[in-house]
Structure 1
């Protein structure tokens, strides 16, 4: 575990952030401080969620890093903000909502499992765990309520301002839901970290996290068994679903 601690120390040094912005987004700064304050986790990349107007001739996943941002905000936006951004477009432009995303390196698989449960129960249903060939354990917090709409092609705006106004309303509602999910995740993460504070046995073995995870897994299995016996309304995402290894 010393290797993880050393890597984390280097990763969190001032100036180590190589993102375009060079710092974490303000809406999730406290969340990341809480996460990185735990000896079990280290954030590697994050975005609190954003609305942006992406310009350029190619907005594919592999090329969008080189596309100009005509407008971007991590809060709700106004129709006039998007319209003003469109006036800067020289070729194509796409209006997007991208939800909160967080990538975390975890010390142990057990730690990733616990964080995955928190993410799923907070509404981030596309979350998952990956383990690299060298044993690197990564946990990705993701959701699927995205939005991507082309507004301009070869310099010509494709839609009316009325339609842009409608898109902005839809995107702002998604941003509000995004913030609610972040708040649930933050609160649940605080509970997780408090409940998994290390407890040393006389032989030096840390056991608290294993006990917590075992209880949650058993409770989740019991609830699933009960749902099979007594059909209920579809889940609203608030219940404890137990541990899931991949996207749902």
Structure 2
């Protein structure tokens, strides 16, 4: 079996960097993940294709899982105040109301399978336990870096709220603890990513 590597890696990286520069110019990149993206993209054997630094959100959806017809009522890539969540909840009118936490996710292309495995091992060792090699082909070797933090809390339906202010306060507290945890993992990844060049 031959040594697996991504074809046209340099061309792919240049295209990805052009897209990233455009997204940065349009303020479409989560600010606190930019230093990590810069460090990854400075490495010879890697480049990022998409990223999210993790988020807390309030979402209205016809039924759970229907992302196409869902509506963000509030979305934050940071710790959130109870008042902000209550304000978002106040916009709810129909369908199901959900409070959601999603961990950070990064897609990183690697030059060779060896590079992909090195990145995967680093990510898992730093607590990104749901990371994997998402795509394996001569066209692209893609590593998905993802952590375990997640919440899916139903809050109400068709304008009716199922919990009181105290309940909202408690789930926001749990969510913020998760945010602190995954932001810490992102910082550790940023601090350790350059080890891949050694």
Structure 1 and Structure 2 fold alike (TM over 0.5): yes
CA RMSD of aligned residues (A): 2.1
Q: CA deviation at 1:162?
A: 0.6
The correspondence for 1:57, drawn from 62, 66, 75, is 62
Alignment of 1:66-215 (within 5 A): 66-91=69-94, 92-193=96-197, 195=198
SS in 1 for 2:193: helix
Cα separation, 2, equivalents of 1:187 and 1:27: 14
TM-score (norm 1): 0.71
SS in 2 for 1:123: coil
Greater strand percent: which structure?
2
Query: Contact 1:59–1:67 (CA<8 Å) still a contact in 2?
Result: no
Cα separation, 2, equivalents of 1:15 and 1:118: 24
Q: RCO (CA 8 Å, sep 6+): is it higher in 1 or 2?
A: 2
Q: CA deviation at 1:16?
A: 7.5
Deviations 1:29-67 (CA, angstroms, capped at 9, x unpaired): 01001111112111111110111101131341xx32542
Report the counterpart of residue 28 of structure 1 in structure 2: 33
Query: Contact 2:147–2:182 (CA<8 Å) still a contact in 1?
Result: no
Query: Contact 2:7–2:139 (CA<8 Å) still a contact in 1?
Result: no
Give the number of equivalent residue pairs: 191
Query: Contact 2:43–2:194 (CA<8 Å) still a contact in 1?
Result: no
Q: Of the two, which has the highest radius of gyration?
A: 1
Gaps of 5+ in 1: 196-248
SS in 1 for 2:153: strand
Query: Contact 1:5–1:39 (CA<8 Å) still a contact in 2?
Result: no
Query: Contact 2:7–2:140 (CA<8 Å) still a contact in 1?
Result: no
Deviations 1:158-201 (CA, angstroms, capped at 9, x unpaired): 111110000000000001111111111111102323x2xxxxxx
Report the counterpart of residue 46 of structure 2 in structure 1: 41
1:11 aligns with 2:16: yes
TM-score (norm 2): 0.88
Cα separation, 1, equivalents of 2:19 and 2:130: 31
Q: CA deviation at 1:86?
A: 0.8
